[in-house]
Structure 1
Amino acid sequence: MTTAFPLLRLPYLVLMPILEQMEFMERIALSVLSKRARTFVKLLKMKCNYINLKLKDDRVEMKVFFDNSEELEVDMYTNRFKVDLRYGKDYISWWPGSLPPTDNVLPIMDVTHCKSIKKLIFPKVSEYNPGYNALVPLLTKLPKIDELIVEHTSLYYFSPDSPLLKVLRIVLPVSSAVTISDHVRKPKYLREIFKGNFDAVSVSLYGNYDTRFPLNDWKFTNAKTLKLDGLGFKIEDLNQYFKLWMKKKCNPRLEYLQVATRKWLSSEVMHLLLKGLNAVQMPIRTDSQLQELGNIKQLRSPDEKITSEFDITRADGRRATIRISNYGTVYFYIWPFEQKNSSFIRLFSLISTLYNSFIEHFK
C-alpha cells in the first residue's frame, strides 16, 4: 500500500523548485486539484496569449494559446464527467468525480493569467436538443468575453422561447463584440443585441428580399463598429441613416459602418444613396491613408475593390467618408474631430506657465 506524498505541505523554498521542474501538463493538472495548489502554480507565471472556448452538444472545447506556438487543448465532457488535456505530444485524461468538468475553465484561466475569453463560440447544434443546461453554471462565471460568435442559427434559435437566446442573455452583458454569422431570418429578434453596449456587432441576414434590416431596429445601435450583411437592404434606409448622422440623431459612438447590399450600385442607386448629403467626391484613398481613423478592422475580401469615394461634413465640422465597392458594399468611416489652433493653444499654455512661475518667484 502506497502513501500519498504531502507535496503542498513542503516549505515554500522547497516546494517552488519542485514545481519549476514539473512538466507543463503536470502543473496544469495540479492546479485544478485545489485552490491551494492553484495559488502555488500561479506563482510560476505561465502566461498565455489568449483562450478560446467552443461549446458543443456534449462538451466544451478549450484552447489556450502561448507565445511558443504551442496550444493546450482541454475537452470537458458534460455527459460523461470526463476531462482530456493535450499539450504537444502529452496527453492526460481524468474523471473529476462529482464536480462538473467545466469547473476546470476558471482555474486554468487563473494559472495562465488570462482575464478574458477571446472567443466564445456557439456552433450549430441540434434544434430539438441544444443541451445548454450543463453549460449555464460555467457561463454565469465567465468574467469577460472579447467576442461572442454564433456560427449557425435557424428561425427557431432566435425566437423569444429559444434556449440559445436564453443562454446568450447570460453572456451578452460581459461581451465586447457579437458576431452572428448565418440564417437570422427575423430581424426583430436581434433588437436586444443592437441596443447593447458592444464595441462591435456583425450580423448576416439571409432570406428573400422581403426580409430586411428595418432602419428603426439598427439606427440607434450603440456599437462602435457595425457590420450588416443582407440581401434585402434598402438603399433609402442607408441614405436616411446618413442624414440622421448629419443631424447628430443616431448612434454617437459609431466609428465604422459596413453594409453589404449584395447588388451593383448603378448611377441611379448612387443618387438615392447620396441624396441630400452634399457629398463631395474624393480620390480613392489607400487603407494606409485611413489608419488615422483608429484601429478599425478592414473587412473587405481580397478581390473587392473600392470604385468611388465621397466625403460628407456635419455642421459641427465632423467629417465622414462613404466608400462603395464593386461588390455593392458601402463603407462608412467617421473621422475624429480636428484639433484646430492646437499650436496656438500649446503656445498660450507655455506662456501662461512661464508667467505664473515668474510671479511665484517674486512673491
Structure 2
Amino acid sequence: MTTPFPLFHLPRLALIPVFQFMESIDVIAFSLLSKKARNVSKIVCKFSSRNVQLTVKSDHLYICVAFEMWRQMGLKYYFNTENIPILVNAMSQKRTFTHKNSGLTASQWLERVLDVTNCESIGQLDLKGSPQVEVCDTFGKLQNIRKIYIFNECFDNFAKKALEIISPVTREISLFKIPFDSREEFQTFLRSNLNYLNIPTNTFPNFKFTLDDLMVTNALKLDLNNGKLNVKEINQFFKNWMENKCDPRQEHLELSTSEDVDENNLLEGLKAVPFPRDRERWFNYSKQLDCSSELISGGYDIWRTDRKKATITFGDVWGISFYAWS
C-alpha cells in the first residue's frame, strides 16, 4: 500500500520544479482535480496559449491548445460514457475525461481548461454535432471567437442557438448548412450585424441565395462561393446600391455565377468608370476581419447617390468582387 504524497503541503518554491518536469497536458489534467489544484496550476505554471480550437460533436467536446508552433495538446470530454474509446496515449498527447473521472460537467470542464491555459479567445469553433448537454452557457462567456463553422451534422436548433449567442463576438461565420426553417428566419439572421459571413452555396443543392437575401444582408463582408445569382440579378444589386436601397453597412462582397460573365452586360446602366489595370489601391476594412485590408488592382468605379464610391473587379473564372469605400 502506497502513501499519498502531500503535494499541496509543499511550499511554492518546492512546487515549481515539480511542475517544470510535468508535461503541459499533465498540468492541465492535474488542474481538473479540484479548485485548489486549478489555483496551484495557475500560480506555478504561467501558460500562454497561442491558439485554441474547440470542436463540438454529439458525444464529446474536443479542445486543442497550441502553445507554440511545435507544441500543442488535445483534451476530450465525453458525454456518453458508454462509447468512450481508449485514448490514454502519452505519445498522441490526448486525454479523455468524463463527468465520472473528473467530477465536472461539460461546461465546468471547458471553463476550467480555458481558465488554466489563460485562453482569452478561441481561434476556431467547429460545430459538428448537437451535444446532449448544455454547453451554450459556456459559449456566452467567451469574449472573442475568430471563426465559427456550422457543419451539416449539427442539428438546426443547436446551430441557431449557438449562432444567436456567438455571432456578436466572432469575426467570421461559415455555414456549411442552412439551419433556418424559413426564408424569413434566414433573412432575420442576415440582418444581425455580422462581421464576415461565408456561405459556400455549392454545398446546398436545393438552396438558392436570392437577390432579396442579398438586399437585406448587412454583413461587413459576404462571401458567396459559387453563388447562384445570375448576371441580371447581380447587375440589379449594383443598381440598387447606387440608389441607396441596400444596407450601408456592407463593405465587401465576393460572389460568382455559373454564367459566362460579360463585363458589358454586368456593368450595363452603372455609368462605371474603369480604373487602370496596372494601378493598385489598398482597401481598408472598418473592423479587423480575416484581414485588415486588401490590395486591389484595376476594376470599375461606380458612385451612389450620396457620392459614396464602390469598385467592381472581375476574377479569372466567374468571380466578381465588390468593395464599398468608406
What range describes the TM-score normalised by the shorter chain of this pair?
A: 0.7 to 0.9
Helix, strand or coil at the partner of 2:73: strand
Q: Tell me how far apart the structure 1 counterparts of residues 123 and 112 of structure 2 sit (CA, whole Å).
A: 16
- Give the root-mean-square deviation of aligned CA atoms: 3.5
In the alignment, which residue of structure 1 is the partner of 2:114?
A: 109
Deviation at 1:181, TM superposition (A): 2.6
In the alignment, which residue of structure 2 is the partner of 1:239?
A: 235
Q: Tell me how far apart the structure 2 counterparts of residues 216 and 258 of structure 1 sit (CA, whole Å).
A: 16
The amino acid across from 1:172 in the alignment is S
The amino acid across from 1:26 in the alignment is D
Helix, strand or coil at the partner of 2:199: strand
Specify whether residues 86 and 103 from structure 1 end up closer, same or farther in structure 2 by C-alpha distance, changes over 3 A only: farther
CA deviations on 1:183-216 (whole Å, 9 max, x unpaired) are: 77975452233122221001133466x9532333
Selected match of 1:282 from 275, 278, 283: 275
TM-score (norm 1): 0.72
Write out aligned runs for 1:137-152 (5 A).
138-152=138-152
Where do 5+ consecutive residues of structure 1 fail to align? 299-305, 337-363
In the alignment, which residue of structure 1 is the partner of 2:23?
A: 23
Deviation at 1:308, TM superposition (A): 7.5
Q: Is the 8 A contact 2:78 2:98 kept in 1?
A: no
In the alignment, which residue of structure 1 is the partner of 2:300?
A: 310
In the alignment, which residue of structure 1 is the partner of 2:318?
A: 328
Write out aligned runs for 1:1-363 (5 A).
1-43=1-43, 44-80=45-81, 89-90=92-93, 92-93=95-96, 95-97=98-100, 98-101=103-106, 103-123=108-128, 130-133=130-133, 135-136=135-136, 138-152=138-152, 158=156, 162-182=157-177, 187-206=183-202, 211-266=207-262, 270-271=264-265, 273-284=266-277, 289-294=280-285, 309-314=299-304, 316-336=306-326
The amino acid across from 1:310 in the alignment is Y
Q: Tell me how far apart the structure 2 counterparts of residues 2 and 142 of structure 1 sit (CA, whole Å).
A: 42
* Greater relative contact order, per chain length (Cα 8 Å cut-off, separation 6+): 2
Helix, strand or coil at the partner of 2:212: helix
CA deviations on 1:267-298 (whole Å, 9 max, x unpaired) are: 5xx42x32332101223358xx3444357759
Where do 5+ consecutive residues of structure 2 fail to align? none
Q: Tell me how far apart the structure 1 counterparts of residues 187 and 195 of structure 2 sit (CA, whole Å).
A: 16
TM-score (norm 2): 0.79
Q: Is the 8 A contact 1:71 1:87 kept in 2?
A: no
Identity among equivalent positions (%) equals 27
Helix, strand or coil at the partner of 2:200: strand
Helix, strand or coil at the partner of 2:225: strand
Q: Tell me how far apart the structure 2 counterparts of residues 308 and 276 of structure 1 sit (CA, whole Å).
A: 20
Deviation at 1:67, TM superposition (A): 1.5
Deviation at 1:131, TM superposition (A): 4.2
Q: Is the 8 A contact 2:30 2:38 kept in 1?
A: yes
CA deviations on 1:12-48 (whole Å, 9 max, x unpaired) are: 3333343233332221112222233223322422212
Specify whether residues 335 and 137 from structure 1 end up closer, same or farther in structure 2 by C-alpha distance, changes over 3 A only: closer
Q: Tell me how far apart the structure 1 counterparts of residues 207 and 325 of structure 2 sit (CA, whole Å).
A: 32
Q: Tell me how far apart the structure 1 counterparts of residues 55 and 42 of structure 2 sit (CA, whole Å).
A: 25
CA deviations on 1:151-171 (whole Å, 9 max, x unpaired) are: 3369xx55xxx4543444343
Specify whether residues 11 and 254 from structure 1 end up closer, same or farther in structure 2 by C-alpha distance, changes over 3 A only: same
Deviation at 1:74, TM superposition (A): 1.2
